Amino acid sequence: MKIKEITLSNFKNYENLKLRFNQRVNLFYGLNGSGKTNLLDAIYYLSISKSYFSSSDKLVIRHNQEFFRLHGVFTNNDKAYNTLVKKRKDQKKVIEFQGAKLDTASELLGKIPIVLIAPDDIKIVKQGSKERRELVNRIICQSNPKYLKTLITYNRILAQKNALLKSNGEMDFQLIDQYNHTLIQLGSTIREVRKTMIALLKEYVIDIYKEISKGAEQIDIIYKSQYDTDDIKRDFENLLQDEIRYKRIFIGIHKDDFEFYINGNLLKKIGSQGQIKSFLYALRIGEYKYLKEKLTEKPILILDDYFEKLDNQRLSLLCRYLKDDTFDQVFLSDTELERTSALLSTFNIPFESFEIQNGKMIKL
């Protein structure tokens, strides 16, 4: 999948912009704050239906404006795909794919596979389990529509159970038993999909990390779930009184974690900065390879301000991937044209560059 053209209106710091892209490697360069990341985020938004960097659509609309609009033309095997996303303040977001309005944002997932790698990915290692679950869910949802529907249903039932626990009326034990029964069934299904996904992803990550470290270090990804038990129904029942007393949920697939290890120790506790960077690099490229295998097509790859974060060894490995057929269309951003262009030229990688200044493209 490739993006041929994008049009932005009132998206972050862009008033109006229309660009056509190179089918292989595209480099956005400019000073920090010029809008490079915002442009990459617009491409991501058209694929995932939400921003990678902003938690709310209110933060996406340009300052002092009432709406934003994004339109993209994508191609795959000479077939064109049009995606449109627009939103006015205090109104529901509108998403269209191939001219048809989608009922929910989740319907767009998987139609335009994409992987975005950014410097703040370190939170995947350093912060809590939520960030790691979100990564796993995002990967699976792009390649497995059934998983997405199951996850949506699970979260809806979970919210209903939570509301019941927080209510001040007499507890409806029959209803809460129904909720738990459904959560156990759905959670068990989600767990099996996650187990299968992690097993394959781990193979890719271990191989890539081994190439980076030249086999000097051993890494692992361990999937931990409360559903790893002989009797999950019993565990739900045993925790029910505590849930009622404290008015909060103590058990469920939404508490899963994916722990990262290096040489048998938790990476976030003992890993050096270089080891964490190397692991994250292997993890996200592993994500790309996983999606490529599951979808039998190559996702769009976005690397935001990434070249300055890599040492020569990881840069060389990345450029080898860029040169061979591992990736298809790639987007890069950097504050300096010379640094990235010199590296790409060294590996004879053709690219097109775009200078960005204050939300505008400067024509060369």
How confident is the model over 111-159, as pLDDT tens digits? Answer: 999 999 998 899 999 999 999 999 999 999 999 999 999 999 999 999 9
Instruction: Indicate whether 74 belongs to any domain.
Output: yes
pLDDT at residue 184, as a whole number: 98
* Mean pLDDT (whole number) for 238-264: 96
Structural domain total, the chain:
2
Query: Which has more pLDDT, 252 or 360?
Result: 252
pTM for the full predicted model: 0.92
pLDDT at residue 143, as a whole number: 93
* Mean pLDDT (whole number) for 58-80: 93
Instruction: Indicate whether 317 belongs to any domain.
Output: yes
Average pLDDT, the chain: 92
| For residue 364, pLDDT beyond 60 | no
| Beta-ladder partners of 61 | 11
Domain end among 296, 325, 353: 296
Same domain, 181 and 244: yes
316-337 residue pLDDT tens = 777 887 777 788 899 999 888 8
Distance set, CA 167 to CA 46, 158, 160, 164, 178 (Å): 39, 14, 11, 5, 17
pLDDT at residue 307, as a whole number: 67
Same domain, 139 and 191: yes
Same domain, 48 and 4: yes
Give the integer Cα–Cα distance in Å for 156 and 162.
10
Would you tell me how many other CB atoms lie within 10 Å of the CB of residue 116? Answer: 24
CA atoms within 13 A on the CB side of 265: 10
Which of 42, 60, 35 lies closest to 305 in space, CA to CA? 35
Same domain, 21 and 101: yes
Q: Which domain holds residue 201?
A: 126-296
Same domain, 147 and 280: yes
Rg (CA), the chain: 22
| For residue 264, pLDDT beyond 80 | yes
Give the integer Cα–Cα distance in Å for 282 and 286.
6
pLDDT at residue 313, as a whole number: 72
CB 94 within 8 A of CB 101: yes
Same domain, 220 and 284: yes
Same domain, 135 and 243: yes
pLDDT at residue 319, as a whole number: 80
Contacts of 37 (CB under 8 A, 6+ apart): 53, 118, 304, 305, 333
CATH assignment at residue 174:
1.20.1050.90
Domain end among 296, 321, 354: 296
Share of the chain above pLDDT 90, in %: 75
Residue 199 burial by CB count (10 A; 0-12/13-18/19+): exposed, middle or buried? Answer: exposed
Share of the chain above pLDDT 70, in %: 98
pLDDT at residue 309, as a whole number: 63
Residue 197 burial by CB count (10 A; 0-12/13-18/19+): exposed, middle or buried? Answer: buried
Same domain, 352 and 336: yes
Same domain, 82 and 45: yes
Domain end among 296, 313, 348: 296
Same domain, 279 and 320: no
156-206 residue pLDDT tens = 999 999 999 999 888 999 999 999 999 999 999 999 999 999 999 999 999
Same domain, 252 and 302: no
Same domain, 93 and 201: no
Q: How confident is the model at residue 216 (pLDDT cuts 50, 70, 90)?
A: confident
